Copies of this chain bind each other. A is one copy, B any other.
Amino acid sequence: MTTHHFTPTHYYNTLGTHEPVLRIAPSDTVITTTIDAMGQDAQHVKVTYGPNPQTGPFFIEGAEPGDILVVHLDRLTPNRPLGEAGVMLSPNVVEPEYVPELAWDANNQDVVWNVDLATQTASLVSPEERLGNFRLPLAPMLGCFGVAPAGGQAISTMTSGPFGGNMDYRGFVSGVTVYFPVFVPGALFFLGDGHARQGDGEITKTGIEISFEVQFTIELLKGEGNRWPRGENDTHIFTVGNARPLDQAVQHATTEMLRWLQTAYGLSAREAGMLLGMCVEYDVGNIYDPAYTMVCKLPKEFLPPRV
């Protein structure tokens, strides 16, 4: 139960079997920092390039393929006062005929947001005509994190998969626990791409992109083999599917939830259907990246006891 203070000196733009920056043990805690999606640090200095440069990888002692890596996101704190955000909707999310009406002109440059931890709000630095300074509650979340993928792959942090990656799901906030499948020895955990706030889908390409101080704690479940990321917060358990089209992301997330209900809660196919049919909730992660993200959730209050 060591607490490691780790200061990154270089970053990765792929999740892959890269040289670990630190070896940690299950139940260890790490306090570290992430830089923003474009490679700017807490001083707003560009120290590397995008997309979504990652702190890590952290090698978890004892992690083997087939295990589950448990990541408690203890704390996600923006650590500078300004963030940037895109303003043009992704052409992907509007009707094809409507695409030319998007903000294609010079008018589409990013906006700068004040990120104020004291009031826990973000507001526009320069007022926009009808929105004024537009003040919104902060909702810090981690956009891109995960483990090294299977098969010797190195996958761009632009996208996502069974190993996590750039899921841009606004549910990945402080206090959430995430369960990643382990594909390589040591799991190799990466994290980055903090957002001070974001709507569902990250449909303007970004949230409020900002650097973070992050504290996380690791655990390991031996040989329990999930296939897609799972998670848990105070009220829900959830599973994550990453694919295109969204229909396929739904299929991965729902199937992973079925596996979870059957192995951990002992439900038959019939009972799982009954529970999901009446209680399932779906959240949309990103619908911007090459792989979209869909989250399948169940309220804990309706779950039977674990087996």
Contacts and interface: CB of A to CB of B under 8 A. Distances in A.
A277 B247 contact: no
Nearest to A94: B255
Contacts of A136: 278-279, 302
5 contacts: A103-B269, A134-B275, A150-B156, A154-B154, A244-B245
Interface stretch (A54-62, A67-75, A214-222, A260-268): A260-268
| Top 9 closest pairs, chain A to chain B, by CB | A204-B277, A91-B96, A246-B246, A99-B99, A199-B280, A103-B269, A245-B245, A282-B284, A154-B154
Contacts of A265: 130
Given A273-B88, A279-B136, A251 B103 contact: no
Identical copies in the complex: 4
Given A245-B245, A247-B246, A282 B94 contact: no
A21 interface: no
A304 B133 CA distance: 11
Contact of A270 (B108, B151, B156, B302): B108
Nearest to A243: B244
Contacts of A252: 95
A50 to B, nearest CB: 10
A102 B98 CA distance: 13
A87 interface: yes
Contact of A199 (B132, B244, B278): B278
Given A203-B277, A203-B280, A279-B136, A131 B271 contact: yes
A247 B89 contact: no
A71 B129 CA distance: 33
A85 interface: yes
Contact of A92 (B13, B96, B158, B207): B96
Contacts of A272: 89
A87 B273 contact: yes
Contact of A154 (B153, B254, B266, B268): B153
Given A153-B155, A281-B199, A204 B268 contact: no
